[in-house]
């Protein structure tokens, strides 16, 4: 879908396209196999994976580690790519696509709510609260992957290059 606008300098017609907005989500797993969820401070309210919008000039990996730190206080090591989620209905505010990473905390003692999170907590994969967006499906995909792959700590992600692990 596109629309025409005019260049502010020369007045020529330019085509402007509406594209999905890139976001990241992070499944942060502690050694006891609990995962971190945040309670959203802003609409839509509810429990969710840490995550948010990718800033211009930032890689997906940088966005994921930044969002994890901002919302949970945790420095994390990204372990791999869980998946890409792009349903136009995944976020009722606008069409987004989420690149979702698995991670482990490097500083578990620093877990605390920040930025867009009113609270943060750890949950067992079999005792999750109702989740916002499509995060229940993302966590289910992650759980299947953990059952198939076992220990995640030997994996890693380099800047600008991630491998699908699911």
Contact (Cβ atoms closer than 8 angstroms) between residue 90 and residue 134: yes
166, pLDDT greater than 70:
no
pLDDT score, position 8: 86
Cα distances (angstroms) measured from residue 153 to each of 82, 84, 104, 125: 14, 21, 7, 18
- Residue 53 burial (CB count, 10 A): 13
Of 53, 150, 63, 45, nearest in space to 101 by CA: 63
Order the strands of the 21-28 sheet from edge to edge: 51-53, 21-28, 96-105, 76-85
Of 29, 48, 51, 61, nearest in space to 151 by CA: 29
pLDDT score, position 155: 57
pLDDT score, position 151: 60
Average of per-residue pLDDT across 84-109:
94
pLDDT score, position 115: 81
- Which residue reads 């989620």 in tokens? 85
Kindly report, residue by residue over 47-85, the tens digit of the pLDDT.
Answer: 999 999 999 999 999 999 999 999 999 999 999 899 999
Contact (Cβ atoms closer than 8 angstroms) between residue 76 and residue 105: yes
Kindly report, residue by residue over 13-47, the tens digit of the pLDDT.
Answer: 988 888 999 999 999 999 999 999 999 999 899 99
The CATH number given to 20-149 is 3.90.79.10
Of the chain, the end-to-end C-alpha distance in Å amounts to 32
CA gap 152, 39 in Å, rounded: 25
Residue 14 parent element (H or E) = strand 13-17
Share of the chain above pLDDT 70, in %: 88
Cα distances (angstroms) measured from residue 9 to each of 3, 6, 70, 109: 18, 9, 38, 53
CA gap 24, 22 in Å, rounded: 7
């Amino acid at each position: 879908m596109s629309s025409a606008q005019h260049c502010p300098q020369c007045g020529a017609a330019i085509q402007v396209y509406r594209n999905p907005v890139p976001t990241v989500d992070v499944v942060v797993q502690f050694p006891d196999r609990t995962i971190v969820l945040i309670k959203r401070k802003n609409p839509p309210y509810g429990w969710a994976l840490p995550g948010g919008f990718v800033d211009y000039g930032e890689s997906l990996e940088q966005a994921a580690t930044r969002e994890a730190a901002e919302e949970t206080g945790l420095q994390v090591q990204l372990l791999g790519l869980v998946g890409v989620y792009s349903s136009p209905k995944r976020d009722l505010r606008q069409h987004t696509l989420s690149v979702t990473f698995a991670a482990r905390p490097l500083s578990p003692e620093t877990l605390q709510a920040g930025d867009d999170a009113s609270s943060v907590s750890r949950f067992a994969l079999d005792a999750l609260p109702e989740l916002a967006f499509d995060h229940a499906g993302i966590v289910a995909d992650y759980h299947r992957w953990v059952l198939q792959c076992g220990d995640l700590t030997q994996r890693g992600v380099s800047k600008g290059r991630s491998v699908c692990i699911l």
